[in-house]
Structure 1
Amino acid sequence: MQTIGVGIIGFGFMGKAHTYGHLNMPLFYNNLPFQTKLVGVCDPVLSLAQDAKARVGFEFATDDYKALLAREDIDAVHICTPNALHVPILIDAVNAGKHVYVDKPLAVSAQQADEACKALEGKDVIHQMAFHNRFFPASMRARQLIADGALGDILTFRAAYFTAGGANPTGAMGWRQRSALSGGGAIQDLGSHAIDLLLWLCGLKAERLISETFTPNPVRQDENGNPVQVTEDHSNMILRLENGATGTVEASRLRTGFDDMTRIEIHGTKGAIVLDLTENDYLQFYDNTLPDSPMGGLKGFTSIYAAQRFDAPGGSFPNAKQSIGWLRAHAHCVYSFYNSVYTHTPATPSVFDGAKIQHILDTAYRSAQAHTWLDIE
């Protein structure tokens, strides 16, 4: 059995989420022809890396990611740092011959994302973005229905990602609210997920957009009590796809009552889907081809129970009928990447896909400043 050595760069919240996938892969997936080994963990706060080594079982801990990249027993690395560091580390990693698994968004600008794509030219490495919302069974079932033509021609849509993290005017300042580290605000952090999921489900490219932003509390205090400018906390976007379909994308940290909600609605000539990841056991499907008489016939949204119905080798543990959670999609995203590493076939969503999303995000910010429609470059 092939063993793939793994290094985790950044052991905050997302580093733990990625590590979870490795720890559970032998349980979730039966009879894999490969296994992963957690070799190294890196965090700029050395004590955090050392604690991860002691508790999780990494072989070594460091605060220098280049020391991790120098290890011959590490084949692939996860980049779980603040956004501004994704591309510099990615470039060093691919130059060191490592496969790369990158958290979203890819970069802090379209220019930086293009640098990542250029660095991959001619490199024999596998690369994938951690757009994990693609990897819920309900999401994959929705994609299948749309690809099979169940919705007909896509007409309109709504994509939304809501949290309430910015609603409190005296709330703590996080790195995701600092443009220097995040590259933006709600559009970068939340909109990247919503846009990727929408376009992947539709199977269409984005063509044009117009957006506006809102920040009711533009200045907050950092951990030292100093005033810091906040990047936007709310964005509304009208997005037009290549087939002419037009809809909205909302990304907001101001939605009081929503701790974390991603919802996609897609409407076509033959039907519609509603995917709400706060209820990710289910996919709502409306079949517009059913007769509407007598008294409405059989028309109406049907709840498709997706739960944990992953294709083999997943889906046996936990049982396919049991409720699914947020981390399970992360684990399947990690599995998908390492299966591609094992088979040495291109992974998806790739860094190139991440770069396309970054161009949309950049266009949204430019549109908000110019107050006009812009073509997506």
Structure 2
Amino acid sequence: MVGIGLIGTGFMGKCHALAYRAVSAVFGDVAAPRLAVLCDTPAEAAVRFARQFGFARATDDWRDLVVDPAVDLVSITTPNRLHFQMALAALAAGKHVYCEKPLGLTLEEAEEMAAAAQAAGVVTQVGYNYLKNPAFLHAQKLVAEGAIGRIVQFRGVVDEDYMADPALPWSWRCRAEEAGLGALGDLGCHLVSLAQALCGPIGAVCADMQTVHATRPMPDGAGEGPVENEDVATALVRFESGVSGVLTTSRAAWGRKGRLAFEVHGSAGMIAFDQERMNELQLFQAEPDRSRHGFRTILSGPAHEPYGAFTPAPGHGLGFNDQKTIEVAGLLRAIAGAGRASPDFAEALRIERVIHAIARSAREGGGGWVRLPA
């Protein structure tokens, strides 16, 4: 059995733990992993969450976890600034690494992490779990089969309102040295992952960014703290195929909770999707009889693998955490030698090159086009 070391017990830490606990029950071909070590601070919290999540041992020192012989796979779910050093230490120790996005605070960190992963020869995966939604996988299949003809444009938006309130206190997410990019690093990278999975690599971007709330009240009430990264970003993109696109993201969009929506326009139809209705896919196909034109709603069901591994009932729906279980299943299969984990560090680096190119265009290029390496 693969021994799991989990670092972090917040939103994504719990999501990882739930996936490890569920994966063998959902997917009969995947052996149940062994929950070996959990790390958090303070030590009392580590002990409490180890008991809650079912881990055998707790520690408050992540360096102890990455070298523990009981740990084969290190899950990194900490704040962004810690990803780089934790992943490099785990790779140096010969461990497989499962890291939440983004890889690093800077493009240079991401490049070093991808190079270290290649040199280590271990399995890596980055948490882009929206790619695993059966509805999205079906959208990929429809595009590949030519159901909407030749792709002519991609339009995408990812919005949340967790930083819409100007009274929200300053936090680490506002500081470049701890969070890196803002809305792009937290949300926009997910949109890029979907866009490239559907339309191929992005070759150039032309962008603008905005910080909606330039300062926020300090948590202790002692004045205001500066917001050093973007709340909103928008980019025109050109895919290497020649297809054009528009990507926009905001963490200050009141009313939006988990909107990750896109439209793929084709020469013979269109596909539309919104993660807030993650079990529905909209399909328009241009039939000769225009009196029959209209969108068709496709509800997720067992016909859309791997939905059926969770429930045999179509239309009953999967949830956010189920996407992570699908992701973990692919990761554990790859470690067992069956298939490959995706996106790995190399693929994640290509995603992060795009978001950093967007930031570069907005900051340095005066909104001019920035080309990405082929």
Q: TM-score range by the shorter chain?
A: over 0.9
Q: Distance in 1 between matches of 2:57 and 2:168?
A: 36
1:343 correspondence with 2:319: no
Q: Distance in 2 between matches of 1:154 and 1:316?
A: 31
Q: Distance in 2 between matches of 1:297 and 1:338?
A: 49
Deviation at residue 129 of structure 1 after TM alignment: 1.0
Partner amino acid, structure 1, of 2:193: D
Q: Distance in 2 between matches of 1:174 and 1:316?
A: 40
Aligned partner of 2:355 in structure 1 is 361
Identify if the C-alpha distance between structure 1 residues 333 and 310 changes in structure 2 by more than 3 Å, giving closer, same or farther. farther
Partner amino acid, structure 2, of 1:140: L
Deviation at residue 78 of structure 1 after TM alignment: 0.7
48-57 or 129-138, which deviates more: 48-57
Alignment of 1:1-377 (within 5 A): 3-30=1-28, 32-202=29-199, 204-226=200-222, 227-230=224-227, 231-288=229-286, 290-291=287-288, 293=289, 296-307=290-301, 311=305, 315-321=308-314, 322-343=316-337, 345-369=339-363, 370-371=365-366, 372-377=368-373
Give the TM-score normalised by the residue count of structure 1.
0.93
Deviation at residue 344 of structure 1 after TM alignment: 5.5
Partner amino acid, structure 1, of 2:319: G
Q: Distance in 1 between matches of 2:85 and 2:359?
A: 23
Q: Distance in 1 between matches of 2:169 and 2:296?
A: 41
Identify if the C-alpha distance between structure 1 residues 224 and 98 changes in structure 2 by more than 3 Å, giving closer, same or farther. same
Q: Distance in 2 between matches of 1:195 and 1:220?
A: 28
Count of matched residue pairs: 368
Q: Distance in 1 between matches of 2:132 and 2:168?
A: 32
Q: Distance in 2 between matches of 1:64 and 1:361?
A: 32
Deviation at residue 365 of structure 1 after TM alignment: 1.1
What percentage of residue pairs aligned between the two structures are identical?
29
Say whether the 8 Å CA contact 1:75–1:98 is kept in structure 2: yes
360-369 or 146-155, which deviates more: 146-155
Task: State the SS of the aligned residue for 1:323.
Answer: coil
Task: State the SS of the aligned residue for 2:167.
Answer: coil
Q: Distance in 2 between matches of 1:150 and 1:174?
A: 46
**Deviation digits for residues 255-302 of structure 1 (CA, Å, limit 9, x no counterpart):** 1111221101110112211011111111111112x21x3xx2332211
Q: Distance in 1 between matches of 2:124 and 2:264?
A: 29
Deviation at residue 320 of structure 1 after TM alignment: 4.4
Q: Distance in 2 between matches of 1:99 and 1:287?
A: 43
Q: Distance in 2 between matches of 1:105 and 1:159?
A: 19
Deviation at residue 174 of structure 1 after TM alignment: 3.4
Say whether the 8 Å CA contact 2:128–2:190 is kept in structure 1: yes
Partner amino acid, structure 2, of 1:333: E
Give the TM-score normalised by the residue count of structure 2.
0.94
Q: Distance in 1 between matches of 2:335 and 2:273?
A: 30
Say whether the 8 Å CA contact 2:201–2:239 is kept in structure 1: yes
Q: Distance in 1 between matches of 2:295 and 2:7?
A: 43
Task: State the SS of the aligned residue for 2:47.
Answer: helix
Task: State the SS of the aligned residue for 1:166.
Answer: coil
Q: Distance in 1 between matches of 2:123 and 2:177?
A: 28
Q: Name structure 1 gaps, 5 residues minimum.
A: none
Deviation at residue 16 of structure 1 after TM alignment: 0.5
CA RMSD of aligned residues (A): 1.7
Identify if the C-alpha distance between structure 1 residues 20 and 174 changes in structure 2 by more than 3 Å, giving closer, same or farther. farther
Deviation at residue 36 of structure 1 after TM alignment: 0.5
Identify if the C-alpha distance between structure 1 residues 56 and 315 changes in structure 2 by more than 3 Å, giving closer, same or farther. same
Say whether the 8 Å CA contact 1:9–1:79 is kept in structure 2: yes
Say whether the 8 Å CA contact 1:281–1:308 is kept in structure 2: no
Task: State the SS of the aligned residue for 2:105.
Answer: coil
Identify if the C-alpha distance between structure 1 residues 349 and 161 changes in structure 2 by more than 3 Å, giving closer, same or farther. same
Q: Name structure 2 gaps, 5 residues minimum.
A: none
Q: Distance in 1 between matches of 2:69 and 2:337?
A: 20
Say whether the 8 Å CA contact 2:207–2:234 is kept in structure 1: yes
Task: State the SS of the aligned residue for 2:225.
Answer: strand
Deviation at residue 142 of structure 1 after TM alignment: 0.4
